[in-house]
Amino acid sequence: MNPGTLPHAPRHHHHTHHTPPPPHIIMPMEIKARDLLASGWPEGPLLGAALRRARELDTAGLDRAHLLARLEQECPKQLPLIPPRASAAPLAEAIETETAEEAANVASARQRMDELLRAPVIQRGVLMPDACPSGNATATIPVGGAIAVENAIIPGAHSADICCSMFATLFADNHPHEELMNHLQKVTHFGAGGRPRGQQLTAPVLDEPVWDNPFLSGLRSRAQDFLGTQGDGNHFAFLGHIQFTETQHAALETAGHTALAAAITRHDGNFNVLVTHHGSRGLGADLYKRGQKAARAWCDKNTKDIPDAAAWLPAATPAGAAYWDALQYISRWTRANHTVLHDAFLNRIGQRPHAQIGNEHNFVWKRAATYLHGKGATPAWRDTQDRPLLGLIPLNMAREILLVLGADNTTYLSLCPHGAGRNLSRTAMLRPYKDADGVLDPARVKTALAPLTQGLDVRWFNGAPDLSESPLAYKDATKVKAQIARYGLATLVGEIQPRGCIMAGAPPEPHWQRARREKRAAHKAERQEENRETRQTLHKQT
């Protein structure tokens, strides 16, 4: 090598080298959702918004403590709790009173509605002609009450008897009514619980893929057990007869109900009619409990001072959407429950349906972003074909069932009543028919029922009559009928006249209750005997 020549520098690959930080310095990591959860932000929509803002602040070079403090100011961990309204939302009343009893009944229903209408998601409410209180708890919606709710569902406002509904089948008038009633008693099922094994019915609705819905999970066996049952209380299987007039026929034709109008033409407007009234039974009751629990949990986190009966689920939340889907299934199941009973009856008598009509009156209906809740209110708006909806309104077992066309009267939320309602609670109504020991006197019950049901085939599935479900228990049917017309709620287009009715009747006395009653009666007899002996002794001494 030439001593004046420098050696070539060694060749290097051109890599970028990062000088590692001193071991005592920790580089900040990108902020994660788990960091915010650990710092107190809740799961849900608030978390996503907070995370996006946190990452924006992170790029400004704030240290973690300052970042979280700033984030707390801009994206609070808890939104302000939603309070009740200071005053109730508007209430429209389609009801009149004549007696002190009627006035007290409406005043009580109005008080409950005033409490309910303070829930901030409720836009307005109505009371129908059949209004009556359904409980004393704060904000409990009355029977005959309905509310318009914005983007939310209130389980308490449809209550446990979800989708309580009416269903009618018109068929040929060529069987004696007693024979029809015998067949009807064979196919229907009243009372607590479901059908016994070996007597269960089936329908395609049981096999719908809905059981992964969190509100329906594990309830398929309940859906099976209760299919083909009607329960108790005011539920019934009613056999009647209808003769359409020319005016009624023309009204149906004009309204666009051409299939029913054509059936009327073919059969001279003359039909026997089976009408059933029931809800979704234990299946719906279980859904209600789950929905109420979820609504209460949401309100506990997001509201203050909202009573249980007014607790709601926002429709846009996953829980709200799932609950809505579950309600739609319950509607389909309940319609199937009516249908299997009607099919079984028609098969026994060798008939086919000439027309079928049905409607819910305990439910939630969606119209745009408004969720209409009815606790005993019949839809009376227009359907997707712009036809007035057909509705069935029962009055009592001894009176006609009304077939009506909805008037779409928006003043009253485009609803009409679901029945006759009560002026007194069951307990108060039965009080005059009990003996000194508070036990119903069978002789008084029989005497009271006889003139009310004369000429009708009235049967009680459990054997003993239930006076609290007789015509005596309900409002004056003529007044309710008149108020439907007076307030422009619906137009009458048919009357199904009664021939017979089956209801659950008084449930069998539980063994423990019977034992207690018998023990009380024995003690009373002993005291009477002791008093008699004492009187005899005193008489001898004198």
DSSP secondary structure, 258-317, as one string: HHHHHHHHHTTTEEEEEEEEE--HHHHHHHHHHHHHHHHHHHHHHBSS--GGG--EETTS
- How many residues are recorded in the chain? 542
Q: Are 504 and 230 in contact (CB under 8 A)?
A: yes
Residue 121: pLDDT above 50? Answer: yes
Rounded to an integer, what distance in angstroms lies between the CA atom of residue 400 and that of residue 241?
Answer: 9
Q: How far is residue 80 CA from its own chain's centroid?
A: 31
300 — phi, psi (to 5°)?
A: -60, -30
CB burial of 400-438 (b: ≥16 within 10 Å; e: otherwise) equals bbbbbbbbbbeebbbbbbbbbbbbbbeeebbeebeeeee
* Helix or strand (DSSP H, E) at 91: strand 91-93
> CA nearest 142: which of 391, 371, 423, 399?
423
Going by pLDDT thresholds of 50, 70 and 90, the confidence category of residue 48 is confident
Q: Which two tokens stand for residue 443?
A: 């002789």
Angle between helices 281-302 and 318-349 (to 10 degrees): 170
> CA nearest 146: which of 173, 117, 118, 120?
117
Q: Which two tokens stand for residue 542?
A: 């004198």
Q: What is the pLDDT of residues 414-457, one digit of tens each?
A: 999 999 999 888 888 888 888 877 888 888 888 989 999 999 99
What pLDDT, on a 0 to 100 scale, did the predictor assign at position 514?
64
Rounded to an integer, what distance in angstroms lies between the CA atom of residue 245 and that of residue 243?
Answer: 6
> CA nearest 421: which of 80, 127, 35?
127
Q: Which two tokens stand for residue 271?
A: 């039909």
| SS3 of residue 191 by DSSP | coil
109 — phi, psi (to 5°)?
A: -65, -40
Give ∠ CA 335-336-341 in degrees, rounded to 5. Answer: 105
Q: Sign of dihedral through CA atoms 407, 360, 358, 499? A: negative
Going by pLDDT thresholds of 50, 70 and 90, the confidence category of residue 96 is very high
| SS3 of residue 64 by DSSP | helix
Q: Whole-model pTM?
A: 0.83
Rounded to an integer, what distance in angstroms lies between the CA atom of residue 412 and that of residue 381?
Answer: 11
Report the DSSP pairing between strands 490-503 and 457-460. parallel
What pLDDT, on a 0 to 100 scale, did the predictor assign at position 2?
42
Rounded to an integer, what distance in angstroms lies between the CA atom of residue 216 and that of residue 283?
Answer: 9
% of residues, the chain, pLDDT over 90: 71
Q: What is the pLDDT of residues 320-359, one digit of tens each?
A: 999 999 999 999 999 999 999 999 999 999 999 999 999 9
Bridge partners (DSSP) of residue 204 are none
Rounded to an integer, what distance in angstroms lies between the CA atom of residue 288 and that of residue 156?
Answer: 8
What pLDDT, on a 0 to 100 scale, did the predictor assign at position 510?
63
DSSP calls for 352-372: --SEEEEEESEEEEEETTEEE
Give ∠ CA 485-487-488 in degrees, rounded to 5. Answer: 60
Residue 11: pLDDT above 70? Answer: no
Q: Euclidean distance between the first and final Cα of the chain, in Å? A: 160
pLDDT higher at 80 or 178? 178
What pLDDT, on a 0 to 100 scale, did the predictor assign at position 147?
98
- Looking at residue 510, the DSSP 8-state letter turns out to be P
Interval 52-68 mean pLDDT: 88
What pLDDT, on a 0 to 100 scale, did the predictor assign at position 24?
45
Query: Tokens 């080298």 belong to which residue?
Result: 17
Q: What is the mean pLDDT of the chain?
A: 90
Angle between helices 258-266 and 246-255 (to 10 degrees): 150
CB burial of 181-209 (b: ≥16 within 10 Å; e: otherwise) equals bebbbebbbbeeebeeeeeebebebbeee
Q: What is the pLDDT of residues 478-521, one digit of tens each?
A: 999 999 999 999 999 999 999 999 999 987 666 666 666 667 76
Residue 142: pLDDT above 50? Answer: yes
Rounded to an integer, what distance in angstroms lies between the CA atom of residue 335 and that of residue 181?
Answer: 22
Angle between helices 318-349 and 177-187 (to 10 degrees): 130
Q: What is the pLDDT of residues 199-245, one digit of tens each?
A: 899 999 999 999 999 999 999 999 999 999 999 999 999 999 999 99
E strands, 98-201, are 122-132, 143-150, 152-153, 165-171
Going by pLDDT thresholds of 50, 70 and 90, the confidence category of residue 8 is very low
Q: What is the pLDDT of residues 12-36, one digit of tens each?
A: 444 445 555 544 444 457 889 998 9
Q: Which two tokens stand for residue 331?
A: 């509607």
- Looking at residue 1, the DSSP 8-state letter turns out to be -
Q: Which amino acid is at 340?
A: V
Residue 1: pLDDT above 50? Answer: no
Interval 370-396 mean pLDDT: 97
Q: Are 117 and 310 in contact (CB under 8 A)?
A: no
% of residues, the chain, pLDDT over 70: 92
